[in-house]
Amino acid sequence: MARRQREFRILGMTPSEIVREFFSSGTGKVAAALFIVLIVVSVYALVTLPPNFAKVWNNPKYWQLNPQYAPPAWIDSIIGPVYSPQIYVNDYTFTVQHQDGVTYITVTFSVNYKYDKPWNEIFIVVNNPAIYSMSQPPVVSITIYRPDGSKITLGPLPINTRVTTLGVSPEVVSQVNLFYSEEYHISNVVPTGSSATPYLFYTVDDGKLMPLKGPYKFTMVFYVFSQNSSVINRKDLEIVLQGQIYGLMGTDNEGHDLWLGLLAGFPIDLAVGLLSALIIVVIAVIIGIVAGFYGGLIDETLMRLTDFVILLPAFPLLIVFSVLFGWSIWDAVVFLAIVSWGASARIIRAMIMQIRSAQYIESAVIAGASRMWILRNHILPQIVPFILYLLVTNVPGAILTLSAINFLGLAGSEYPTWGTLLYYADEFGALTSGYWWWVIPPGLLIAFVAVVFILTAMASEPVVNPRLRYG
């Protein structure tokens, strides 16, 4: 007769029964679905964002073409075509002519203006490093044909940097003012210190500026005087119309794409919570098992150490040390874990002492079983669910604590965590200024991650507590 194989059980349940019990409640199903979303988005962020995204995030030049304080692009689908979107002009004609040692490059494109608020700025971007070292830089003249039949001629402007900002050039400002003076008899229409670009898309009606909607045709002629006539080519030339709305989640004070910042926060905040919880649980399990299993002086010493850790003011100490030593976010994670394991260790110790006093443990000792055998076969299988439960319940606290530290501008504020986004939102008065897209999404995501782990812990309670399972 074949010997029946012993079935592996934890707290009297097989692994399949544990899974079934977890998913038997609506809470478990919701927790699992939300947890899958959290993992999928975190993996997507790791795959799509560059490894050095923290450096990219802190490089202002990377975001200089984006509008500042811009709401999300989908806002126009709700309130109508009010704000001009960000446009990267790709559909343009590009012709080259050579005459008398001068290269003439003509770029022509059209845009349809149908919004109440015009574009903030027009950028001409040349991504060829040779532009910096030319003794006589290229120049550009621009003619804009407006829907009402009028035209505005701008330039010539030197192209001697990677990004040429059209509207802030004093020459362009004076040319736009001259156009309004001759066409509408209005002087100094462009306020001092402002860009002239929005006024390319206005007309005057009854003495008031009004949006002039319709098709606009732009003709840009680049004059290249150097023998290196290819310094401006189709591959390296970009034309950007800076909008007043941007992306899925808008922008902040520096033009950061907040959608990318929120996306980057998923793996960072999840890693922070899981790493902190893992360290807490490892320390708690070691201290709790040793104290509860061996007892005596060892138990007394470890419990006094545990009491000391429990009494430590973790959050104030974390603030002080972050200020004094300029800690990174990972330094803060390790410190937070080191001062947060006390309560979990006491729970593990209490469980070990209860199990140790059971009759089957005494029988095993009488039969000559070693301490390690008893620990491996009788004790660990019973506390594994509680260990996982403690791991889950410690994650939200770690995430909320580290987000609070980031909100104060400490412990790795160079990373685009959700707490860091809220810190800068508060620093620049986003809430009082009505920049809700800068405040609400990161706050909701912090709450979302905390709720995911809280629901997971609630769904796990019947597994770790037989009284709930059996009534």
Query: SS3 for the chain, per residue?
Result: CCCCCCCCCECCECHHHHHHHHHCCHHHHHHHHHHHHHHHHHHHHHHHCCCCHHHHHCCHHHHCCCCCCCCCHHHHHHHCCCECECEEECCCEEEEEEECCEEEEEEEEEEEECCCECCCEEEEEECCHHHHHCCCCCEEEEEEECCCCCEEEEEEEECCCCEEECCCCHHHHHHHHHHHHHHHCCCCCCCCCCCCHHHHHEEEECCEEEECCEEEEEEEEEEECCCCHHHCCCCCEEEEEECCECCCCCECCCCCEHHHHHHHHHHHHHHHHHHHHHHHHHHHHHHHHHHHHHCHHHHHHHHHHHHHHHHCCHHHHHHHHHHHHCCCHHHHHHHHHHCCCHHHHHHHHHHHHHHHCCHHHHHHHHCCCCHHHHHHHHHHHHHHHHHHHHHHHHHHHHHHHHHHHHHCCCCCCCCCCHHHHHHHHHHCCHHHHCCHHHHHHHHHHHHHHHHHHHHHHHHHHHHHCHHHHHC
The total of other beta-carbon atoms located within 10 Å of residue 283's CB is 18
Report CA dihedral (34, 37, 38, 41) to the nearest 10 degrees.
-160
Distance (Å, whole) CA 259 – CA 63: 13
Q: Which pLDDT tens digit goes with each residue over 354-377? A: 888 778 777 877 787 777 887 777
Q: Which pLDDT tens digit goes with each residue over 285-307? A: 999 999 988 888 999 999 999 99
Question: What is the pLDDT averaged over residues 59-76?
Answer: 95
Q: What one-letter code names the amino acid at 449? A: V
Residue 201 confidence (pLDDT) above 90: yes
Question: What is the pLDDT averaged over residues 182-201?
Answer: 93
pLDDT at 119: 96
- Of all residues in the chain, the percent with pLDDT exceeding 90 is 61
Q: Which of 239, 204, 233 is nearest to 218 (CA)?
A: 239
Residue 436 confidence (pLDDT) above 90: yes
Q: Which pLDDT tens digit goes with each residue over 441-456? A: 999 999 999 899 989 8
Distance (Å, whole) CA 143 – CA 95: 16
Which range has highest mean pLDDT (15-29, 225-239, 426-440)? Answer: 426-440
Q: How confident is the model at residue 7 (pLDDT cuts 50, 70, 90)?
A: low
Q: What angle do CA 212, 177, 194 make, to 5 degrees?
A: 85
pLDDT at 21: 78
Residue 48 confidence (pLDDT) above 90: yes
pLDDT at 465: 64
Residue 13 confidence (pLDDT) above 70: no
Residue 77 confidence (pLDDT) above 90: yes
Q: How confident is the model at residue 378 (pLDDT cuts 50, 70, 90)?
A: confident
Residue 459 confidence (pLDDT) above 50: yes
Find out whether 53 and 62 touch, Cβ atoms under 8 Å.
no
Distance (Å, whole) CA 403 – CA 417: 8
Distance (Å, whole) CA 120 – CA 143: 18
Residue 136 confidence (pLDDT) above 90: no
pLDDT at 364: 78
Cα distance from N-terminal residue to C-terminal residue, the chain: 39
Residue 25 confidence (pLDDT) above 90: no
pLDDT at 312: 92
Residue 10 confidence (pLDDT) above 60: no
Residue 311 confidence (pLDDT) above 50: yes
Q: Which pLDDT tens digit goes with each residue over 98-111? A: 888 899 999 999 99
Q: Which of 223, 107, 231 is nearest to 162 (CA)?
A: 231
Q: Which pLDDT tens digit goes with each residue over 393-414? A: 899 988 888 888 888 888 766 7
pLDDT at 2: 47
Question: What is the pLDDT averaged over residues 260-270?
Answer: 93
Q: CA–CA distance from 324 to each of 235, 411, 413 (Å)?
A: 49, 11, 15
pLDDT at 155: 87
pLDDT at 1: 43
Give the up-direction half-sphere exposure of residue 24: CA atoms within 13 A in the CB hemisphere. Answer: 13
